[in-house]
Structure 1
């Protein structure tokens, strides 16, 4: 499957955006960009210290991701971004109107366990509560799909590809759920 869309892999920390994003990009035959790489150093320092980001902290980061997505418009691409609030997704859509979201979601205990066992990431498990408190799930008028993160990375990626395929075929402007 190849897509001219830019797909934003979103969700709270620990859902596997950094794992699923590159796998999805490979399956779609498009480039991948790691959303964390767009954070200014001050944001990474703040999160590393266990301090949640404010909206003001996030705007430059979202604008940088949006600029990348805009450059990829018509070419396709996959980028990871928590995109937890509707306002954040609206900002990404304003920069690149054709973006489609893959919302990775799952059981909180599973996500916390995965976060606790990952190595070399700046986001501490202590910030998971703030992530869930901030999360506003995709709304029906947002182009995107919801994909459960239980199972292997390959299974999750396959569910995402199938859900995107269904979205393009059947409901190009509505969110669907894939479990």
Structure 2
């Protein structure tokens, strides 16, 4: 494929069809339109979070515009108008920030955004059923004790009276 492209370029160079032009510094290029920065009110500069909430409210945004599209549009306008004064929480999605080298030996491996965290093992909590019962104390009086067991219905081996008959339980 690359060889075909070079062959076509060489054929055009032989016939004199390839012309390189350098644009003059003062003229804008044809087809290039200046990018217009959307205007935001002064209240958006004071409270950019409130401005985003107000603009992307389901009561105000267009019916065919999703929440994510609205946030992207508003955050882009805020970033264009506020520049470095934009809070970090409102940076548009896809903006490169906090970039650092990922691997020490590879200078091209970059990690941008928040650093990834290793997954912590989830602590599995066992559901328990607890019974509160009164017990008589030797000195007199009553003390309340709480006996807990797993909710699955199985009891600990230490609970209850056991009699061994023939070496088995």
Same-fold status (TM-score > 0.5): no
Bigger relative contact order, structure 1 or 2, given CA contacts below 8 A and separation 6+? Answer: 1
Give the structure with the larger helix fraction.
Answer: 1
Between Structure 1 and Structure 2, whose CA radius of gyration is higher? 2
How would you bin the TM-score normalised by the shorter chain? under 0.3
TM-score (norm 1): 0.22
